[in-house]
Structure 1
Amino acid sequence: MTGVQAFTTGTAALLDLDPYRFPAALIDDAPERTPSVCGRVEPGDRLLPAPEPASRLTTPLEPTDRRRLELHAALTAAGIAPLPGDLDAIEALCQLTDTTHIALRRWINRAV
């Protein structure tokens, strides 16, 4: 096909659209309410309540678990997606000391 294909304007064509790619598509003959592009709250939106500080877990993370979270956060902020084979290397890096881990995160952040 070399030309542009136009969609029909009926609701049957709208029901065929993927709701994740086209959140404004009609589903069950009613428009789906989605947040606006600017992230403003629209009338009828329900906001989640603020978390209560008393409901937080009091158990601190182990140092290796904390380092793993910090390393994943640094890689995500740098736009680096670890591959499945990289998880063993991340585990080995999390066993290092805090000072070595700080230097590693600093190197990742400067690489961006």
Structure 2
Amino acid sequence: MTGFQAFTTGTAALQDLDPYRFPAAVFDGEPERTPSAYGVMEADDLVLPAPDPASRLCAALAPVDRRRLELHAALTTAGVAPLPGDLDAIEALCTLDDTTHAVLRRWINHAM
């Protein structure tokens, strides 16, 4: 298949659209009337203010803590959920040096 391929079934293809992912899709000749389709906020919507960069903590993470976060991120990206007993092994792996830890993360990411 190359380029753009148009729907050949006309409006029947619109029935396959997920209304949660496509809130403005036309169904039965009418667009779904939801606030998200028109960009209108509900009365109970809460808009959080933008974070203030000056209020951030300036303390750097310890290397062991940084490696733990990176290892959890790599495992999450690979779709591996650590079991409660695995936390001791993760703790031991985080005490390794940065070079060994980088190789470990590379192995996890390429195992997908």
CA–CA distance in structure 2, aligned partners of residues 77 and 97 of structure 1: 22
Q: Partner letter of residue 52 of structure 2? A: E
Question: Deviation digits for residues 33-78 of structure 1, max 9, x if unmatched?
Answer: xxx8349564223322111111111010000000000000100011
Q: Which residue of 1 aligns with 2:103?
A: 103
Partner of 2:70: 70
Rounded Cα–Cα distance in structure 1 between residues aligned with 2:110 and 2:64: 23
Calculate the TM-score normalised by the size of structure 1.
Answer: 0.62
Instruction: Indicate the SS of the match to 1:95.
Output: coil
Counterpart residue number, 1:86: 86
RMSD (Å) for aligned C-alpha atoms: 1.9
Distance 1:91 1:42 in 2: 47
Among 31, 34, 37, the alignment partner of 2:20 is 37
Over 3 Å counting, the alpha-carbon distance change for 1:79 and 1:42 in structure 2 is: farther
Distance 2:111 2:50 in 1: 36
Q: State the aligned residue count.
A: 77
Identity of aligned residues (%): 68
Unaligned segments of structure 1, at least 5 residues: 1-35
Alpha-carbon distance between aligned partners in 2 of 1:47 and 1:105, rounded to the nearest angstrom = 37
